[in-house]
Structure 1
Protein backbone atom coordinates (compact mmCIF):
# COMPACT_ATOMS: atom_id res chain seq x y z
CA UNK A 1 0.00 0.00 0.00
CA UNK A 2 1.45 3.35 -1.03
CA UNK A 3 2.24 5.86 1.64
CA UNK A 4 0.38 9.14 1.24
CA UNK A 5 2.17 12.34 2.09
CA UNK A 6 -0.10 15.24 3.06
CA UNK A 7 1.24 18.78 2.98
CA UNK A 8 -0.89 21.83 3.71
CA UNK A 9 1.83 24.42 3.31
CA UNK A 10 1.37 24.70 -0.47
CA UNK A 11 -0.35 28.07 -0.22
CA UNK A 12 -0.03 29.18 -3.79
CA UNK A 13 -1.02 26.15 -5.90
CA UNK A 14 -3.76 26.99 -8.43
CA UNK A 15 -5.67 26.01 -11.53
CA UNK A 16 -4.17 23.02 -13.27
CA UNK A 17 -1.06 23.13 -11.06
CA UNK A 18 1.00 20.16 -10.21
CA UNK A 19 4.01 20.32 -9.07
CA UNK A 20 5.16 18.35 -10.18
CA UNK A 21 4.90 19.19 -6.98
CA UNK A 22 5.53 16.26 -8.94
CA UNK A 23 8.40 16.29 -7.16
CA UNK A 24 7.50 18.61 -9.51
CA UNK A 25 9.00 20.13 -11.71
CA UNK A 26 9.87 19.57 -12.25
CA UNK A 27 7.24 19.21 -12.53
CA UNK A 28 5.92 21.94 -13.05
CA UNK A 29 4.72 24.25 -14.22
CA UNK A 30 1.81 23.40 -16.24
CA UNK A 31 0.21 25.53 -18.83
CA UNK A 32 -3.52 25.25 -19.20
CA UNK A 33 -5.05 28.67 -19.78
CA UNK A 34 -6.70 29.91 -16.61
CA UNK A 35 -9.35 32.56 -16.29
CA UNK A 36 -6.55 34.84 -15.15
CA UNK A 37 -4.64 34.41 -18.42
CA UNK A 38 -7.74 35.10 -20.46
CA UNK A 39 -8.63 38.22 -18.52
CA UNK A 40 -8.52 41.32 -20.75
CA UNK A 41 -6.47 44.31 -19.69
CA UNK A 42 -8.49 46.78 -17.63
CA UNK A 43 -11.02 44.17 -16.48
CA UNK A 44 -11.89 43.63 -12.84
CA UNK A 45 -9.54 41.37 -10.82
CA UNK A 46 -10.28 37.66 -10.81
CA UNK A 47 -10.20 35.73 -7.53
CA UNK A 48 -10.94 32.10 -6.75
CA UNK A 49 -10.57 29.75 -3.79
CA UNK A 50 -10.86 26.00 -3.58
CA UNK A 51 -9.27 22.73 -2.62
CA UNK A 52 -7.83 19.75 -4.43
CA UNK A 53 -5.17 17.07 -4.56
CA UNK A 54 -2.18 16.34 -6.77
CA UNK A 55 -0.43 13.02 -7.28
CA UNK A 56 2.64 11.81 -9.09
CA UNK A 57 4.64 8.65 -9.51
CA UNK A 58 8.13 8.70 -7.98
CA UNK A 59 11.26 8.38 -10.09
CA UNK A 60 13.61 7.56 -7.19
CA UNK A 61 14.40 3.92 -6.39
CA UNK A 62 12.18 2.56 -3.63
CA UNK A 63 10.40 5.88 -2.97
CA UNK A 64 6.62 6.00 -2.57
CA UNK A 65 4.35 7.82 -4.97
CA UNK A 66 3.08 11.19 -3.79
CA UNK A 67 -0.44 12.34 -2.94
CA UNK A 68 -0.62 15.94 -1.74
CA UNK A 69 -3.63 17.95 -0.54
CA UNK A 70 -3.57 21.55 -1.75
CA UNK A 71 -5.62 24.71 -1.44
CA UNK A 72 -6.43 26.30 -4.81
CA UNK A 73 -5.90 30.05 -4.79
CA UNK A 74 -5.74 32.27 -7.86
CA UNK A 75 -5.74 36.04 -8.22
CA UNK A 76 -5.29 38.15 -11.33
CA UNK A 77 -5.24 41.93 -11.16
CA UNK A 78 -4.29 44.68 -13.57
CA UNK A 79 -0.59 44.43 -12.75
CA UNK A 80 -0.04 41.61 -10.22
CA UNK A 81 -1.13 37.97 -10.07
CA UNK A 82 -0.86 34.76 -8.05
CA UNK A 83 -0.67 31.70 -10.25
CA UNK A 84 0.75 28.23 -9.80
CA UNK A 85 3.32 27.97 -7.05
CA UNK A 86 4.23 31.63 -7.21
CA UNK A 87 3.33 35.20 -8.09
CA UNK A 88 4.34 37.79 -10.61
CA UNK A 89 3.97 41.16 -12.25
CA UNK A 90 3.14 42.05 -15.84
CA UNK A 91 5.90 43.96 -17.61
CA UNK A 92 4.08 44.11 -20.92
CA UNK A 93 0.70 42.84 -22.05
CA UNK A 94 -1.45 43.17 -25.16
CA UNK A 95 -3.86 40.90 -27.04
CA UNK A 96 -1.07 38.72 -28.44
CA UNK A 97 1.97 39.00 -26.20
CA UNK A 98 2.59 39.13 -22.45
CA UNK A 99 5.91 39.40 -20.63
CA UNK A 100 6.03 38.86 -16.86
CA UNK A 101 8.41 38.92 -13.92
CA UNK A 102 7.91 35.75 -11.89
CA UNK A 103 8.82 34.37 -8.48
CA UNK A 104 7.99 30.91 -7.15
CA UNK A 105 8.89 28.33 -4.55
CA UNK A 106 10.22 25.03 -5.89
CA UNK A 107 8.98 22.17 -3.72
CA UNK A 108 10.99 19.51 -5.54
CA UNK A 109 13.09 17.90 -2.83
CA UNK A 110 13.77 14.62 -1.06
CA UNK A 111 15.13 13.31 2.21
CA UNK A 112 17.37 10.28 2.64
CA UNK A 113 14.61 8.61 4.66
CA UNK A 114 12.29 8.62 1.64
CA UNK A 115 13.93 5.47 0.27
CA UNK A 116 16.59 2.89 1.24
CA UNK A 117 18.45 3.82 -1.96
CA UNK A 118 18.79 7.42 -0.72
CA UNK A 119 20.30 6.60 2.68
CA UNK A 120 23.63 8.36 2.99
CA UNK A 121 22.74 11.03 0.46
CA UNK A 122 22.36 14.59 1.70
CA UNK A 123 18.80 15.91 1.75
CA UNK A 124 17.82 17.99 -1.26
CA UNK A 125 15.85 21.11 -0.37
CA UNK A 126 13.26 23.28 -2.05
CA UNK A 127 14.19 26.82 -3.00
CA UNK A 128 12.93 30.21 -4.16
CA UNK A 129 13.35 30.97 -7.85
CA UNK A 130 12.80 34.09 -9.95
CA UNK A 131 12.75 34.73 -13.66
CA UNK A 132 10.95 35.91 -16.76
CA UNK A 133 8.07 34.49 -18.80
CA UNK A 134 6.72 35.33 -22.24
CA UNK A 135 3.51 34.07 -23.84
CA UNK A 136 2.38 34.45 -27.44
CA UNK A 137 -1.29 33.91 -28.32
CA UNK A 138 -1.51 32.73 -31.92
CA UNK A 139 -4.62 32.03 -33.97
CA UNK A 140 -4.59 28.29 -33.28
CA UNK A 141 -2.27 27.84 -30.30
CA UNK A 142 -0.47 29.48 -27.39
CA UNK A 143 3.34 29.43 -27.13
CA UNK A 144 5.16 30.16 -23.88
CA UNK A 145 8.71 30.36 -22.60
CA UNK A 146 9.87 30.63 -18.97
CA UNK A 147 13.31 31.12 -17.48
CA UNK A 148 14.04 30.59 -13.75
CA UNK A 149 17.19 30.84 -11.66
CA UNK A 150 17.81 29.80 -8.06
CA UNK A 151 17.84 32.76 -5.62
CA UNK A 152 18.87 30.79 -2.51
CA UNK A 153 21.65 28.80 -4.19
CA UNK A 154 20.23 25.44 -3.18
CA UNK A 155 20.59 23.76 -6.57
CA UNK A 156 22.37 26.83 -7.95
CA UNK A 157 21.07 26.24 -11.46
CA UNK A 158 18.55 27.33 -14.05
CA UNK A 159 15.45 25.97 -15.75
CA UNK A 160 13.94 26.86 -19.14
CA UNK A 161 10.39 25.74 -19.98
CA UNK A 162 9.03 25.79 -23.55
CA UNK A 163 5.35 25.01 -24.09
CA UNK A 164 2.71 24.86 -26.80
CA UNK A 165 -0.98 24.35 -25.99
CA UNK A 166 -4.19 24.33 -27.95
CA UNK A 167 -7.21 25.54 -25.94
CA UNK A 168 -10.74 24.51 -26.84
CA UNK A 169 -13.98 25.90 -25.37
CA UNK A 170 -17.44 24.41 -25.66
CA UNK A 171 -20.19 25.78 -23.46
CA UNK A 172 -19.09 25.14 -19.87
CA UNK A 173 -16.08 23.02 -20.87
CA UNK A 174 -12.51 24.18 -21.37
CA UNK A 175 -9.87 21.71 -22.64
CA UNK A 176 -6.19 22.44 -23.26
CA UNK A 177 -3.87 19.66 -24.51
CA UNK A 178 -0.21 20.61 -24.41
CA UNK A 179 3.32 19.57 -25.32
CA UNK A 180 6.50 20.93 -23.79
CA UNK A 181 10.11 20.49 -22.80
CA UNK A 182 11.95 21.53 -19.63
CA UNK A 183 15.68 22.19 -19.88
CA UNK A 184 17.76 22.01 -16.69
CA UNK A 185 21.32 23.21 -16.15
CA UNK A 186 24.04 20.83 -15.00
CA UNK A 187 23.90 22.26 -11.44
CA UNK A 188 20.14 21.65 -11.26
CA UNK A 189 20.40 18.14 -12.72
CA UNK A 190 23.21 17.10 -10.39
CA UNK A 191 21.49 18.48 -7.30
CA UNK A 192 18.34 16.40 -7.79
CA UNK A 193 19.67 13.34 -9.63
CA UNK A 194 23.44 13.21 -9.18
CA UNK A 195 25.59 11.36 -6.64
CA UNK A 196 28.60 13.16 -5.09
CA UNK A 197 31.86 11.31 -4.42
CA UNK A 198 31.11 11.54 -0.67
CA UNK A 199 27.74 9.84 -1.25
CA UNK A 200 29.02 6.97 -3.42
CA UNK A 201 28.86 3.41 -2.06
CA UNK A 202 28.89 -0.06 -3.58
CA UNK A 203 25.96 -0.22 -5.99
CA UNK A 204 25.63 3.58 -5.98
CA UNK A 205 28.64 5.01 -7.82
CA UNK A 206 29.48 8.67 -8.19
CA UNK A 207 27.31 10.12 -10.94
CA UNK A 208 27.56 13.48 -12.72
CA UNK A 209 25.08 14.99 -15.17
CA UNK A 210 25.17 17.77 -17.74
CA UNK A 211 22.24 19.77 -19.08
CA UNK A 212 19.08 17.64 -19.30
CA UNK A 213 15.78 17.88 -21.18
CA UNK A 214 12.49 16.36 -19.99
CA UNK A 215 9.59 16.14 -22.44
CA UNK A 216 5.99 16.52 -21.25
CA UNK A 217 2.52 15.95 -22.67
CA UNK A 218 -0.86 16.22 -21.02
CA UNK A 219 -4.29 17.74 -20.93
CA UNK A 220 -6.07 20.18 -18.63
CA UNK A 221 -9.83 20.20 -18.31
CA UNK A 222 -12.01 22.78 -16.60
CA UNK A 223 -15.75 22.27 -16.24
CA UNK A 224 -18.04 25.06 -15.09
CA UNK A 225 -20.52 23.31 -12.79
CA UNK A 226 -22.21 26.67 -12.23
CA UNK A 227 -21.28 30.26 -13.07
CA UNK A 228 -19.04 30.38 -9.96
CA UNK A 229 -18.05 26.76 -9.24
CA UNK A 230 -15.39 25.12 -11.40
CA UNK A 231 -14.04 21.56 -11.50
CA UNK A 232 -10.37 21.52 -12.50
CA UNK A 233 -8.44 18.45 -13.58
CA UNK A 234 -5.10 17.76 -15.21
CA UNK A 235 -3.22 14.63 -16.16
CA UNK A 236 0.02 14.15 -17.98
CA UNK A 237 3.24 12.30 -18.65
CA UNK A 238 6.86 13.42 -18.36
CA UNK A 239 9.63 11.53 -20.19
CA UNK A 240 12.92 11.90 -18.37
CA UNK A 241 16.20 12.72 -20.05
CA UNK A 242 18.32 9.59 -20.53
CA UNK A 243 21.02 10.98 -18.21
CA UNK A 244 18.41 11.25 -15.44
CA UNK A 245 17.01 7.78 -16.17
CA UNK A 246 20.54 6.34 -15.93
CA UNK A 247 21.21 7.83 -12.48
CA UNK A 248 21.91 5.13 -9.84
CA UNK A 249 19.19 6.64 -7.57
CA UNK A 250 16.53 6.62 -10.33
CA UNK A 251 14.63 3.55 -11.50
CA UNK A 252 12.11 5.08 -13.92
CA UNK A 253 12.41 6.79 -17.29
CA UNK A 254 9.06 8.57 -17.04
CA UNK A 255 6.53 9.73 -14.50
CA UNK A 256 2.79 10.29 -14.52
CA UNK A 257 1.02 13.09 -12.70
CA UNK A 258 -2.46 14.46 -12.18
CA UNK A 259 -4.58 16.96 -10.30
CA UNK A 260 -8.24 17.31 -9.40
CA UNK A 261 -9.82 20.18 -7.55
CA UNK A 262 -12.88 22.34 -7.18
CA UNK A 263 -12.84 26.13 -6.85
CA UNK A 264 -15.27 28.97 -6.27
CA UNK A 265 -14.68 32.01 -8.47
CA UNK A 266 -15.60 35.64 -7.82
Structure 2
Protein backbone atom coordinates (compact mmCIF):
# COMPACT_ATOMS: atom_id res chain seq x y z
CA UNK A 1 0.00 0.00 0.00
CA UNK A 2 2.85 2.39 0.81
CA UNK A 3 4.42 1.77 -2.59
CA UNK A 4 1.13 2.46 -4.37
CA UNK A 5 0.63 5.68 -2.40
CA UNK A 6 4.03 7.15 -3.21
CA UNK A 7 3.77 6.16 -6.86
CA UNK A 8 0.40 7.90 -7.15
CA UNK A 9 1.81 10.97 -5.40
CA UNK A 10 4.77 11.20 -7.75
CA UNK A 11 2.57 10.71 -10.80
CA UNK A 12 0.21 13.46 -9.62
CA UNK A 13 3.09 15.89 -9.10
CA UNK A 14 4.63 14.89 -12.41
CA UNK A 15 1.56 15.61 -14.51
CA UNK A 16 0.47 18.70 -12.57
CA UNK A 17 3.89 20.28 -13.04
CA UNK A 18 4.38 19.41 -16.72
CA UNK A 19 2.73 22.54 -18.06
CA UNK A 20 4.71 24.72 -15.63
CA UNK A 21 8.14 23.40 -16.60
CA UNK A 22 10.87 25.74 -17.75
CA UNK A 23 10.34 26.70 -21.39
CA UNK A 24 14.02 26.40 -22.32
CA UNK A 25 13.72 22.62 -22.03
CA UNK A 26 10.28 22.28 -23.56
CA UNK A 27 11.47 22.08 -27.17
CA UNK A 28 12.44 18.87 -28.93
CA UNK A 29 16.19 19.43 -28.72
CA UNK A 30 18.20 16.53 -27.35
CA UNK A 31 21.16 17.70 -25.23
CA UNK A 32 23.95 15.32 -24.31
CA UNK A 33 27.47 15.15 -22.90
CA UNK A 34 29.47 11.94 -22.88
CA UNK A 35 32.93 10.71 -21.83
CA UNK A 36 34.55 7.29 -21.97
CA UNK A 37 37.80 6.30 -20.31
CA UNK A 38 40.14 3.54 -19.17
CA UNK A 39 40.82 3.66 -15.44
CA UNK A 40 42.47 1.74 -12.65
CA UNK A 41 39.93 1.27 -9.86
CA UNK A 42 40.78 0.17 -6.31
CA UNK A 43 37.78 -0.28 -4.02
CA UNK A 44 37.08 -1.71 -0.59
CA UNK A 45 33.45 -2.18 0.41
CA UNK A 46 32.00 -2.31 3.92
CA UNK A 47 33.14 -5.85 4.71
CA UNK A 48 30.70 -8.73 5.02
CA UNK A 49 31.77 -11.54 7.37
CA UNK A 50 34.00 -13.99 5.51
CA UNK A 51 33.55 -12.30 2.13
CA UNK A 52 36.02 -10.58 -0.16
CA UNK A 53 35.54 -6.84 0.08
CA UNK A 54 38.53 -5.55 -1.90
CA UNK A 55 38.59 -5.15 -5.68
CA UNK A 56 41.45 -3.75 -7.75
CA UNK A 57 41.55 -3.90 -11.55
CA UNK A 58 41.49 -1.83 -14.73
CA UNK A 59 38.12 -1.03 -16.23
CA UNK A 60 35.98 1.31 -18.27
CA UNK A 61 34.26 4.28 -16.64
CA UNK A 62 31.48 6.17 -18.39
CA UNK A 63 30.07 9.58 -17.57
CA UNK A 64 27.00 10.76 -19.46
CA UNK A 65 24.37 13.44 -19.18
CA UNK A 66 21.37 13.31 -21.48
CA UNK A 67 18.49 15.81 -21.42
CA UNK A 68 15.28 15.87 -23.41
CA UNK A 69 12.67 18.44 -22.52
CA UNK A 70 12.57 18.20 -18.71
CA UNK A 71 13.79 14.62 -18.52
CA UNK A 72 17.42 13.71 -17.84
CA UNK A 73 19.70 10.74 -17.29
CA UNK A 74 23.00 11.18 -15.41
CA UNK A 75 25.71 8.61 -14.76
CA UNK A 76 28.29 9.16 -12.02
CA UNK A 77 31.55 7.24 -12.19
CA UNK A 78 33.00 9.67 -9.63
CA UNK A 79 30.34 8.88 -7.04
CA UNK A 80 31.04 6.32 -4.32
CA UNK A 81 29.20 3.45 -5.99
CA UNK A 82 28.81 5.03 -9.42
CA UNK A 83 25.42 4.38 -10.95
CA UNK A 84 22.79 6.41 -12.75
CA UNK A 85 19.91 8.74 -11.93
CA UNK A 86 16.79 9.23 -14.00
CA UNK A 87 14.92 12.45 -13.29
CA UNK A 88 12.30 14.97 -14.30
CA UNK A 89 12.66 18.68 -13.52
CA UNK A 90 9.40 19.80 -11.90
CA UNK A 91 10.41 23.29 -10.79
CA UNK A 92 13.30 25.29 -12.25
CA UNK A 93 14.28 28.62 -10.69
CA UNK A 94 17.47 30.68 -10.86
CA UNK A 95 19.08 29.23 -7.74
CA UNK A 96 16.86 26.31 -6.73
CA UNK A 97 14.71 23.55 -8.15
CA UNK A 98 12.71 20.41 -7.41
CA UNK A 99 12.99 17.14 -9.37
CA UNK A 100 11.31 13.76 -9.37
CA UNK A 101 14.18 11.25 -9.29
CA UNK A 102 14.73 7.51 -9.53
CA UNK A 103 17.95 5.64 -8.77
CA UNK A 104 19.76 3.09 -6.61
CA UNK A 105 21.48 3.87 -3.30
CA UNK A 106 22.57 0.48 -1.95
CA UNK A 107 24.96 -2.21 -3.15
CA UNK A 108 23.43 -5.70 -3.65
CA UNK A 109 24.99 -8.93 -2.36
CA UNK A 110 24.23 -12.62 -1.79
CA UNK A 111 25.84 -15.81 -0.44
CA UNK A 112 28.90 -15.01 -2.54
CA UNK A 113 29.31 -11.52 -1.10
CA UNK A 114 29.46 -8.43 -3.29
CA UNK A 115 31.23 -10.05 -6.23
CA UNK A 116 30.31 -13.03 -8.40
CA UNK A 117 32.41 -16.07 -7.62
CA UNK A 118 32.10 -19.82 -8.10
CA UNK A 119 31.91 -20.80 -4.43
CA UNK A 120 29.67 -19.41 -1.73
CA UNK A 121 31.05 -17.80 1.41
CA UNK A 122 30.69 -20.22 4.33
CA UNK A 123 29.75 -17.48 6.82
CA UNK A 124 27.02 -16.19 4.47
CA UNK A 125 25.60 -19.57 3.45
CA UNK A 126 21.82 -19.60 3.79
CA UNK A 127 21.16 -15.87 3.53
CA UNK A 128 18.72 -14.60 0.93
CA UNK A 129 19.85 -12.42 -1.93
CA UNK A 130 19.80 -8.69 -1.18
CA UNK A 131 18.87 -6.95 -4.42
CA UNK A 132 19.71 -3.36 -5.29
CA UNK A 133 17.02 -0.87 -4.39
CA UNK A 134 15.23 1.10 -7.10
CA UNK A 135 14.08 4.18 -5.24
CA UNK A 136 11.71 6.94 -6.30
CA UNK A 137 11.25 10.33 -4.68
CA UNK A 138 12.03 14.04 -4.75
CA UNK A 139 15.22 16.09 -4.87
CA UNK A 140 15.56 19.74 -3.82
CA UNK A 141 18.52 21.65 -5.29
CA UNK A 142 19.89 24.90 -3.91
CA UNK A 143 22.82 26.95 -5.26
CA UNK A 144 24.40 29.30 -2.73
CA UNK A 145 27.61 31.08 -3.63
CA UNK A 146 30.11 28.54 -4.92
CA UNK A 147 28.27 25.59 -3.37
CA UNK A 148 25.39 23.43 -4.56
CA UNK A 149 23.37 21.52 -1.97
CA UNK A 150 21.01 18.65 -2.72
CA UNK A 151 18.43 17.08 -0.39
CA UNK A 152 16.69 13.88 -1.52
CA UNK A 153 13.86 11.92 0.07
CA UNK A 154 13.25 8.62 -1.70
CA UNK A 155 11.25 5.44 -1.14
CA UNK A 156 12.28 2.00 -2.39
CA UNK A 157 9.22 1.88 -4.63
CA UNK A 158 10.41 -0.86 -6.99
CA UNK A 159 12.74 -2.79 -4.66
CA UNK A 160 12.18 -5.26 -1.84
CA UNK A 161 13.00 -3.28 1.31
CA UNK A 162 9.74 -1.29 1.65
CA UNK A 163 11.85 1.42 3.29
CA UNK A 164 12.99 4.98 2.68
CA UNK A 165 16.12 7.08 2.99
CA UNK A 166 17.07 10.75 3.22
CA UNK A 167 20.17 11.95 1.38
CA UNK A 168 21.93 15.30 1.84
CA UNK A 169 25.13 16.54 0.21
CA UNK A 170 26.92 19.72 -0.78
CA UNK A 171 29.43 20.16 -3.62
CA UNK A 172 32.09 22.78 -4.29
CA UNK A 173 33.66 23.05 -7.74
CA UNK A 174 36.82 25.13 -8.12
CA UNK A 175 39.84 25.56 -10.40
CA UNK A 176 43.39 24.96 -9.19
CA UNK A 177 45.72 26.16 -11.95
CA UNK A 178 44.69 23.90 -14.86
CA UNK A 179 42.86 21.40 -12.66
CA UNK A 180 39.08 21.22 -12.32
CA UNK A 181 38.35 19.95 -8.81
CA UNK A 182 35.09 18.76 -7.20
CA UNK A 183 34.74 18.29 -3.45
CA UNK A 184 31.57 16.58 -2.25
CA UNK A 185 30.51 15.91 1.36
CA UNK A 186 27.30 14.14 2.27
CA UNK A 187 25.25 11.94 4.57
CA UNK A 188 22.43 9.41 4.36
CA UNK A 189 19.75 8.48 6.89
CA UNK A 190 18.18 5.05 6.33
CA UNK A 191 14.86 3.92 7.76
CA UNK A 192 14.97 0.67 9.72
CA UNK A 193 13.02 -1.18 7.01
CA UNK A 194 15.46 -0.06 4.31
CA UNK A 195 18.74 -0.93 6.04
CA UNK A 196 17.37 -4.03 7.80
CA UNK A 197 16.58 -5.58 4.42
CA UNK A 198 20.33 -5.59 3.70
CA UNK A 199 21.99 -6.25 7.05
CA UNK A 200 19.25 -7.74 9.22
CA UNK A 201 18.85 -11.50 9.76
CA UNK A 202 15.39 -13.07 9.35
CA UNK A 203 14.25 -16.17 11.22
CA UNK A 204 14.70 -18.40 8.16
CA UNK A 205 18.31 -17.18 7.81
CA UNK A 206 19.29 -17.66 11.45
CA UNK A 207 21.73 -20.37 12.57
CA UNK A 208 23.54 -21.21 15.80
CA UNK A 209 26.29 -18.80 14.75
CA UNK A 210 24.06 -16.24 13.03
CA UNK A 211 21.19 -15.19 15.31
CA UNK A 212 18.17 -13.19 14.24
CA UNK A 213 18.92 -9.48 14.12
CA UNK A 214 16.98 -6.31 13.33
CA UNK A 215 18.89 -3.21 12.23
CA UNK A 216 17.47 0.07 13.51
CA UNK A 217 17.55 3.44 11.79
CA UNK A 218 21.09 4.04 10.52
CA UNK A 219 23.14 6.89 9.09
CA UNK A 220 26.23 7.07 6.90
CA UNK A 221 28.70 9.79 6.01
CA UNK A 222 31.03 10.22 3.06
CA UNK A 223 33.49 12.56 1.36
CA UNK A 224 34.45 12.52 -2.32
CA UNK A 225 37.16 14.31 -4.28
CA UNK A 226 37.63 14.28 -8.04
CA UNK A 227 40.10 16.21 -10.22
CA UNK A 228 40.35 16.54 -14.01
CA UNK A 229 43.34 17.81 -15.99
CA UNK A 230 43.25 18.43 -19.78
CA UNK A 231 46.18 16.70 -21.51
CA UNK A 232 45.16 17.16 -25.17
CA UNK A 233 42.18 18.22 -27.21
CA UNK A 234 39.21 16.19 -25.91
CA UNK A 235 41.50 14.07 -23.69
CA UNK A 236 41.42 14.44 -19.90
CA UNK A 237 43.34 12.84 -17.06
CA UNK A 238 40.95 12.14 -14.19
CA UNK A 239 41.51 10.91 -10.63
CA UNK A 240 39.28 10.60 -7.60
CA UNK A 241 38.90 9.18 -4.12
CA UNK A 242 35.95 8.50 -1.82
CA UNK A 243 35.60 7.54 1.83
CA UNK A 244 32.43 6.21 3.45
CA UNK A 245 31.32 5.00 6.89
CA UNK A 246 28.10 3.69 8.44
CA UNK A 247 27.01 4.34 12.02
CA UNK A 248 29.08 2.26 14.44
CA UNK A 249 26.18 -0.01 15.42
CA UNK A 250 26.01 -1.54 11.92
CA UNK A 251 28.82 -3.96 12.90
CA UNK A 252 26.46 -5.52 15.46
CA UNK A 253 24.83 -7.30 12.53
CA UNK A 254 26.03 -10.94 12.39
CA UNK A 255 26.98 -10.54 8.72
CA UNK A 256 28.88 -7.22 8.92
CA UNK A 257 32.60 -7.13 9.79
CA UNK A 258 33.46 -3.47 9.12
CA UNK A 259 31.47 -0.28 8.57
CA UNK A 260 33.82 1.76 6.38
CA UNK A 261 34.65 1.70 2.68
CA UNK A 262 36.79 3.54 0.14
CA UNK A 263 37.30 3.92 -3.60
CA UNK A 264 40.31 5.32 -5.50
CA UNK A 265 40.53 5.62 -9.28
CA UNK A 266 42.68 7.29 -11.93
CA UNK A 267 42.93 7.15 -15.68
CA UNK A 268 42.37 8.90 -18.99
CA UNK A 269 39.05 9.67 -20.65
CA UNK A 270 37.90 11.04 -23.99
CA UNK A 271 35.20 13.71 -23.85
CA UNK A 272 32.81 13.76 -26.80
TM-score (norm 1): 0.75
For structure 2, list consecutive stretches of 5 or more residues without a partner in the other structure: 1-23, 76-83, 114-120
| C-alpha contact (below 8 Å) 2:41/2:265 kept by paired residues | yes
Higher Cα Rg: structure 1 or 2? 2
Partner of 1:57 in structure 2?
44
- Return the match for 1:180 from 163, 182, 186: 186
Partner of 1:74 in structure 2?
64
- Greater mean deviation of Cα atoms: 129-138 or 90-99: 90-99
Structure 1 stretches of 4+ with a deviation exceeding 6 A read 41-44
Q: What is the 5 A alignment of 1:103-182?
A: 103-105=102-104, 108-114=107-113, 115-182=121-188
Structure in which a larger fraction of residues adopt helix: 2
SS of 1:192's partner is helix
CA RMSD, 1 decimal: 2.5
- Return the match for 1:210 from 209, 216, 219: 216
Per-residue deviation, residues 55-81 of structure 1 (Å, max 9, x unmatched) = 431321122123574441412435232
For structure 1, list consecutive stretches of 5 or more residues without a partner in the other structure: 1-40
What is the total number of aligned residue pairs between the two structures? 226
TM-score (norm 2): 0.73
| C-alpha contact (below 8 Å) 1:93/1:99 kept by paired residues | yes
| C-alpha contact (below 8 Å) 2:165/2:189 kept by paired residues | yes
Matching of residue 100 in structure 1 with residue 99 in structure 2? yes
Partner of 2:88 in structure 1?
89
Q: Are the structure 2 counterparts of residues 260 and 99 from structure 1 closer, same or farther at C-alpha, using a change threshold of 3 Å?
A: farther
| C-alpha contact (below 8 Å) 1:195/1:208 kept by paired residues | yes
Partner Cα distance (1:81, 1:260) in 2: 27
Q: Are the structure 2 counterparts of residues 214 and 86 from structure 1 closer, same or farther at C-alpha, using a change threshold of 3 Å?
A: same
Tell me by how many angstroms 1:156 deviates.
Answer: 1.6
